[in-house]
Structure 1
Amino acid sequence: MSRRLAQGLGDPAAPAASSPPVRAVVALGANLGDRAATLAEAVEELRRLPLTGEVVASPPVETVAEKPEGRDAAAPAYLNAVAIVATRLAPSVLLGYLHAIEARHGRERRERWGDRTLDLDLITYGDVMSDDPLLALPHPRAATREFVLLPWLAIDADAEIPGAGRVEDLLARIQDAS
Structure 2
Amino acid sequence: MVMREQRLRVELPAVLSLGSNLGDREATLRAAVAEIAALPQVTVVAASGLVETDAVKLDGVDTDAPAYLNAVVTVRTSLDPDELLSALGAIEQEHGRVRDERWGDRTLDIDIVDFGGLRVDTDRLTLPHPRAAERGFVLVPWLEIEPHAALLARGRVDQLPAATLDDVRPYPARPLL
Give the TM-score band, short-chain normalised.
Answer: 0.7 to 0.9
Aligned Cα root-mean-square deviation (Å): 1.5
Q: Deviations over 1:32-88 (max 9, x none)?
A: 000000000000011011111233110110100001111111100000000001111
Local SS of the residue matching 2:160: helix
Identity %: 52
Q: Distance in 2 between matches of 1:173 and 1:44?
A: 27
* Structure (1 or 2) with the greater helix fraction: 1
With the length of structure 2 as denominator, give the TM-score of the two structures: 0.86
Q: Give the equivalent residue in structure 2 for 1:97.
A: 87
Pair 128,68 (structure 1): closer, same or farther in 2 beyond 3 Å:
same
- Matches of 1:94 and 1:44 in 2, distance apart? 15
Deviations 1:94-138 (A, max 9, x none): 000010000000001101000000000011100101222311000
Q: How many correspondences in the alignment?
A: 160
Match of 1:109 among 89, 99, 117: 99
1:159 is aligned to 149
Between structure 1 and structure 2, the one with the greater Rg is: 2
DSSP-derived class of the 2:165 partner: helix
Match of 2:31 in 1: 41
- Return the offset for 1:175: 3.3
User: Does the alignment pair 1:60 with 2:50?
Assistant: yes
How many Å apart are 1:171 and its aligned residue?
Answer: 4.1
Structure 2 unaligned segments of length 5 or more: list them: 1-6, 167-177
Whether the 8 Å contact between 1:30 and 1:116 is mirrored in structure 2 is yes
Pick the aligned partner of 1:140 from 112, 123, 130: 130
4+ residue runs over 6 A deviation? none
